Amino acid sequence: MAKQLLGPFAEMVTMDHLPEKGPLLDERLEIIRDGGVIIEGDRILDVLDEERFKQVKALAEMKGSPLGHTPIRRKMVLLPGLIDCHTHICYAGSRAKEYSKRISGESYLQISERGGGIMSTVRSTRQATEEELASTLAERAFEHLLRGVTTCEVKSGYGLDLETEIKMLRAIRRVDGSIDPMPRLVPTCLAAHVRPPEFRTDQQYLDFLVSKLLPPVKREGLANRVDIYVDRGAFAPELADGYLFQAKNMGFTPVVHADQFVVGGAAVAARVGAISADHLERSTEREFKWLRDKGVVAVALPGSSLGLGDPFAPARHMLDAGLCVAIASDWNPGTAPMGGLLTQASLLSANQRLTAAETFAGLTIRAARALGLEDRGAIMTDHLADLIGFNCDSYEEILYRQGALSPSLIIKGGKRIMRAPGPTGG
Ligand code: NIG
Ligand code: FE
C-alpha cells in the first residue's frame, strides 16, 4: 500500500491523550509544531514531531524511496475531520415559509399543532422517491464535507410509516456506499419522531414500530441505532422506556432526543443506558448527574437553539458536572436549517464559555464516543486518515473566526477532497 508523508504543519492538534469527559483546559491539548503524518491507505500510520518529520522527509526525498511526500507550503493547522453526530439531512421539501412565520412570532409548537412542523416534512418525504431523497441528501452531505465534516450521522424520522422509513434508510445507505466523495454516514432509525395521524394512540404506533419496522431494519442492516423524541407534543417518558428497552433487546443502540422543551428524556436515556442524550436545553444538575452516572454522552445542538431563537443548552454546566459533551448541528428542515457546524460550535463556545479544547473535543473525539466509534476523532496511529487543515498559524484562529474560516485541506480516508465534485476536480 502506498505511503504518503504529509507536512510540515504549523500545528497539528491531535486530540489524543485527552480525558473522555469533564472540563478541558487548552493546556491539555497535544500540539505538535512543524511535524507531519504518514498515511498508509485510508489510515494514519504515524504522527511525527519536527525532528522525526525532517528525518522521514529526507528519506522520502531519496531516489527510489517507496514513501511519497506531499509538502504543505502555506502555514496550516491540522485537526481530525469533524464528526457531526446528530443530523436529519435526509428529507424532501422546504420549511422556509414556516421559518418566516416563526420569526414573525408563531411558536414551533403552535405550528406543529396546526399540522405544520415535522408533519409538513413527512408529507413531502412520503411523496419523494428513494432516488430523489438520495440525491438531495448527497448534496447536503457533500456541502458538509466541504465544511470539514468527514463523518455524519443521519436520522430517518420523516416517513413515520413502514415504506417511507425504509425508503429513507435505504437512501442513506445508497449515498454512503456508492457516491464519492461523501462524508462517512451513520444511519439512525428515528421512526419514533412523532405519532402519525394514521394511529390513534402513541402506544399503538410504538408497538407497530417494534413488530413491523424494527425487524426489517435489523434484517437489512439499515441502522444499528434507534432514537426517540421524548417531549411535549412527541412521546412520553414512560412509553419511551418500553420502546427503547425492546429496541435494545433486538440489538439496537438507544439514543434519545431529550429535554428540548420539557424535562423527561434525559431520565429515559439514563434508565435505558442510551449511548447519548441529545438537546438537553432544559436539563438541570439532577439530569446531568443521572447521565454522568450512566456514562451517557450529552450532545449539545446549538443549531436548533439558533434556529428557534432559544437559549443554548447549558454546556458549561454539563462539562463542570463531569459529562462527556459532544456538539452536533441537528441540521434539519425545521428547527436547524443552517447546517454550519463550526459556526454553531463557535457561537456556543462564546456563549457558554467553552474552551477551544472542549469545543474541538466535542466536534471530534467526544463526538466519536457519541457514535460508539473508536477509529476516528484524533490524529493518531491506526485512526482513519480523516483530516482537515485550516490556513492559519495557530488553532486559536479557528474559533476566533467563528466559522468564517473554512478548511482548505480536507482528507477523507487518505484521499484529498477537491472542492468541486466531478471529473475535472477543483
Ligand atoms: O432535533 N426536536 C425534534 N426533532 C428535530 C426537529 C425536526 C423538525 O422540526 O423537522 C430536532 O430539533
Ligand atoms: Fe434532532
pLDDT at 240: 98
Same domain, 361 and 410: no
Give the residue from 357, 371, 409, 418 showing the smallest Cα distance to 387: 409
Q: Which ligand has its closest atom nearest to the C-alpha of 255?
A: 2
Residue 141, phi then psi, degrees to nearest 5: -65, -40
For 281-343, the three-class secondary structure string (H helix, E strand, C coil) is: CCCCHHHHHHHHHCCCEEEECHHHHHHHCCCCCCHHHHHHCCCCEEECCCCCCCCCCCCCHHH
Contact of 326 with 315, CB cutoff 8 Å: no
Q: In this model, does residue 212 exceed pLDDT 80?
A: yes
Same domain, 34 and 108: no
> Residue 50 and residue 176: Cα distance in Å, rounded?
37
63 part of a folded domain: yes
Q: What is the CATH number of the domain that holds 349?
A: 3.20.20.140
Same domain, 127 and 148: yes
400 part of a folded domain: yes
66 part of a folded domain: yes
SS3 assignment, position 232: coil
Q: Which ligand has its closest atom nearest to the C-alpha of 194?
A: 1
pLDDT one-digit tens code per residue, 151-183:
999 999 999 999 999 999 999 999 998 888 999
pLDDT at 423: 40
Q: From ligand 2's centre to the CA of 133, what distance in Å?
A: 18
Cell numbers for 336, please give them: 436547524
Contact of 357 with 30, CB cutoff 8 Å: no
Cell numbers for 321, please give them: 458536572
Residue 227, phi then psi, degrees to nearest 5: -115, 155
pLDDT one-digit tens code per residue, 267-279:
999 999 999 999 9
Q: What is the CATH number of the domain that holds 44?
A: 2.30.40.10
In DSSP terms, 185 is beta-bridged to: 152
Best residue for ligand 1 mutational test, from 160, 257, 281, 308 (most atoms within 8 Å of Cβ): 257
C-alpha separations of 2 from 68, 251, 382, 415 in Å: 8, 38, 15, 12
SS3 assignment, position 18: coil
Mean per-residue pLDDT, 42-71: 96
Closest ligand 1 atom, residue 117 Cα: 9
Neighbours of 70 (CB within 10 A): 14
pLDDT at 198: 97
Closest ligand 1 atom, residue 278 Cα: 1
Same domain, 43 and 142: no
314 part of a folded domain: no
Residues within 6 Å of ligand 1 by CB: 88, 117-118, 121, 229, 257, 260, 304, 330, 332-335
290 part of a folded domain: no
Cell numbers for 220, please give them: 437489512
Same domain, 89 and 233: yes
Q: Identify the residue with better confidence: 374 or 2.
A: 374
- Among protein residues, the one whose CA lies closest to atom 12 of ligand 1: 335
Closest ligand 1 atom, residue 95 Cα: 10
Closest ligand 1 atom, residue 112 Cα: 9
Q: From ligand 1's centre to the CA of 27, what distance in Å?
A: 36
SS3 assignment, position 126: helix
Q: From ligand 1's centre to the CA of 143, what distance in Å?
A: 20
Q: Identify the residue with better confidence: 115 or 270.
A: 270
Helix H or strand E encompassing 169? helix 162-178
Closest ligand 1 atom, residue 118 Cα: 10
- Which residues sit with Cβ closer than 5 angstroms to ligand 2, an ion? 330
Same domain, 135 and 55: no
> Residue 101 and residue 108: Cα distance in Å, rounded?
9
Neighbours of 180 (CB within 10 A): 11
Q: In this model, does residue 213 exceed pLDDT 50?
A: yes
* Sign of the alpha-carbon torsion through 40, 42, 46, 50: positive
Same domain, 385 and 350: no
Range list of H helices, 15-155: 50-60, 96-103, 108-113, 118-127, 130-146
> Residue 159 and residue 193: Cα distance in Å, rounded?
9
288 part of a folded domain: no
Mean per-residue pLDDT, 18-36: 98
Domain count, the chain: 2
Closest ligand 1 atom, residue 304 Cα: 12
Q: How far apart are the first and last CA of the chain?
A: 26
Q: Which ligand has its closest atom nearest to the C-alpha of 95?
A: 1
pLDDT one-digit tens code per residue, 324-351:
999 999 999 999 999 999 999 999 999 9
Contact of 88 with 330, CB cutoff 8 Å: yes
Same domain, 19 and 159: no
Q: From ligand 2's centre to the CA of 392, what distance in Å?
A: 33
pLDDT at 177: 80
Best residue for ligand 1 mutational test, from 229, 259, 331 (most atoms within 8 Å of Cβ): 229
DSSP assignments along 335-383, one per residue:
S-----HHHHHHHHHHHHT--HHHHHHHHTHHHHHHTT--S-SS--TTS
pLDDT at 208: 98
Q: What is the DSSP secondary structure assignment for residue 111, as one 8-state letter?
A: H
119 part of a folded domain: yes
pLDDT at 381: 98
pLDDT at 28: 98
Cell numbers for 345, please give them: 460550535
pLDDT at 422: 42
Same domain, 52 and 169: no
Q: From ligand 1's centre to the CA of 118, what distance in Å?
A: 7
73 part of a folded domain: yes
Show the domain range for 401. 3-80+377-416
Q: From ligand 1's centre to the CA of 252, what distance in Å?
A: 21
Same domain, 70 and 102: no
Q: What is the DSSP secondary structure assignment for residue 209, as one 8-state letter?
A: I
Same domain, 56 and 164: no
- Among protein residues, the one whose CA lies closest to atom 1 of ligand 1: 330
Q: In this model, does residue 57 exceed pLDDT 80?
A: yes
Instruction: Tell me how far the alpha carbon of residue 258 is from its chain's centroid.
Output: 16
Q: What is the mean pLDDT of the chain?
A: 96
Q: From ligand 2's centre to the CA of 333, what distance in Å?
A: 10
Q: In this model, does residue 426 exceed pLDDT 50?
A: no
Neighbours of 198 (CB within 10 A): 10
Contact of 388 with 371, CB cutoff 8 Å: no
pLDDT at 418: 80
pLDDT one-digit tens code per residue, 231-286:
999 999 999 999 999 999 999 999 999 999 999 999 999 999 999 999 999 999 99
- Among protein residues, the one whose CA lies closest to atom 3 of ligand 1: 229
**Percent share of the chain, pLDDT over 90:** 95
Same domain, 166 and 226: yes
